[in-house]
Amino acid sequence: MAAVLEIEGLQKTYRSRRRGTRRALDGFDMRVEAGQVHGFLGPNGSGKTTTLRTLLGLIRPNGGRMAILGQEVPAALPRVARQVGAIVESPQFFPHFSARDTLSLLTGAGGVPERRVTEVLELVGLRERAKDRVKTYSLGMKQRLAVASALLKEPKLLILDEPANGLDPGGIREMRTLMRNLSASGMTVVLSSHILGEVQLICDSVTIISLGRRVAFGPVSAVLAQHSGGGLRVRLEAVTDLPVAADLLTRSGVRVTPQDDHLLVYGVDKPSAVTRTLAGADLFVSELAPVEVDLESVFLELTGTAPVPGQHRQVDQSVVLGERTGSAPSDSAAGGWGV
Ligand SMILES: Nc1ncnc2c1ncn2[C@@H]1O[C@H](COP(=O)(O)OP(=O)(O)OP(=O)(O)O)[C@@H](O)[C@H]1O
């Protein structure tokens, strides 16, 4: 599959006299395939905005390479800029202008045909309110107007930094529908977000960044599968038998985490070994199912540990088989910590 966006070994260190030196990106890698909705996730201060701003030529990196639609940036930005729509900061609109006037102003400035105004208003679901003043819009409508402005050029790649920030559940749902419609039209969307449930619903693939380094990437389903830990949820016909079952399974060499009404069992080669061990002691399994994880638990597992000065989580838990696996040192591939 063709990469619409490629970042390799990106480095960015901020230096200021007052705040000293701060390494925001520490050899960061990212790859987004054509036609995907790609979630870009990371805790506050992990380097998402720095990455997006660097990609758009707003910040100068200290090292690494970046390409958009196969063209090296920032050198090729003047050529590819027309094919990239981006919102990396909350756009400000004239409150007394309508959405239509706002977009018409932008088409005039950007050499975009006027017919695009009606098209993008339709796309973002603002056609009915297009003549109303922006000051009467909800936050969700303003966000969709921002997306509309980024869509005017008919970009191939749309980059959105926190498009659902501050939205209520209704606004989030509208934004979700919009992302799905854009994806269905063939556009590649890169979406930075803290709303992990949404990302899991909307995105085909994700990159997780922590302390300026990629700690996971790949199709959402593969990232989840990789972090399920191969665990099994085991229920018994009689809850009172759980302690005995836990003891038996532990002695058989697997790891057991007892829960209120079931056991979580890890390190099992074959699920049938669990049923056999328990049946041998007249304990009968009523449920044996893989442990399902969500993106939030994976995110917390990979990024939730407090940063240690001088240390970075070095693991690149890449799951796109056959792709390059990033710049993480091979000796840390088992999920440990490196310096
Ligand atoms: N202009 C700047 N000068 C100095 N340090 C900066 C500057 N901009 C960002 N940083 C620092 O770089 C690091 C990465 O910040 P960045 O804004 O890229 O993170 P982020 O992942 O976008 O965070 P958030 O989710 O809070 O928006 C942080 O430690 C931040 O304090």
CATH of region 3-225: 3.40.50.300
Extents of the domains making up the chain:
3-225, 229-290
- Ligand 1 in contact with 16 (CB < 6 A)? yes
pLDDT at 88: 81
Provide φ and ψ at 149, rounded to 5°: -65, -35
Report which protein residue has its CA nearest ligand 1's atom 3: 14
Provide the pLDDT for residue 304: 64
CA distance readout (Å), 77 to 4, 57, 58, 69: 14, 7, 11, 11
**Pairing between strand 71-73 and 213-219?**
unpaired
Per-residue model confidence (pLDDT) at position 321: 32
Tens-digit pLDDT profile for residues 48-93: 999 999 999 999 999 999 999 999 999 999 889 889 998 887 778 8
Segment (H or E) for 219 = strand 213-219
For ligand 1, whether the C-beta of 211 sits within 6 Å is no
Whether 229-290 and 3-225 are alike in CATH topology: the answer is no
* CATH level 3 topology of 229-290: Alpha-Beta Plaits (3.30.70)
Question: For 305-332, how does the pLDDT look when each residue is reduced to its tens digit (9 = 90+)?
Answer: 433 333 433 333 333 333 333 333 222 2
How remote is the CA of residue 50 from the centroid of ligand 1, in Å? 6
Q: Which two tokens stand for residue 179?
A: 């992302």
How much distance in Å is there from the Cα of 41 to the middle of ligand 1?
14
48 pocket-lining for ligand 1 (C-beta < 6 Å): yes
Given this model, what pLDDT does residue 31 score? 96
Residue at token pair 């970075």 = 312
Residue with CA closest to ligand 1 atom 28: 45
pLDDT band per the 50, 70, 90 thresholds, residue 34: very high
Contacts of residue 271, defined as CB under 8 A and 6 or more positions apart, other chains included, come to: 232, 288
Residue nearest to atom 8 of ligand 1 (CA): 50
Using the predicted structure, report yes or no on whether residue 13 has a pLDDT greater than 90: yes
Number of Cβ atoms within 10 Å of the Cβ of 323 = 13
pLDDT of residue 240: 93
Q: Determine whether the shortest distance from the Cβ of 46 to ligand 1 is under 6 A.
A: yes
CA–CA separation, 106 and 100 (whole Å):
10
Closest CA to ligand 1's atom 7: 14
Cβ–Cβ under 8 Å, residues 27 and 193: no
Ligand 1 nearest-atom number relative to CA 47: 18
In this structure, the residue with its CA closest to atom 1 of ligand 1 is 14
Residues in Cβ contact with 305 at an 8 Å cutoff, skipping those fewer than 6 apart: 313
**3-state class of 140 per DSSP?**
helix
> Does 185 score more than 80 pLDDT?
yes
Residues in CB range of 23: below 8 A, 6 or more apart: 11, 12, 13, 212
pLDDT, tens digit, for every residue of 213-234? 999 999 998 888 887 777 889 9
Which pLDDT value is given to residue 331? 27
How many angstroms separate the alpha carbon of residue 24 from the centre of ligand 1?
6
Tell me the CA–centroid distance for residue 5 and ligand 1, in Å.
Answer: 21
- The number of the ligand 1 atom at minimal distance from the alpha carbon of 12 is 12
Closest Cα to atom 11 of ligand 1: 24
49 lines ligand 1 (CB under 6 A): yes
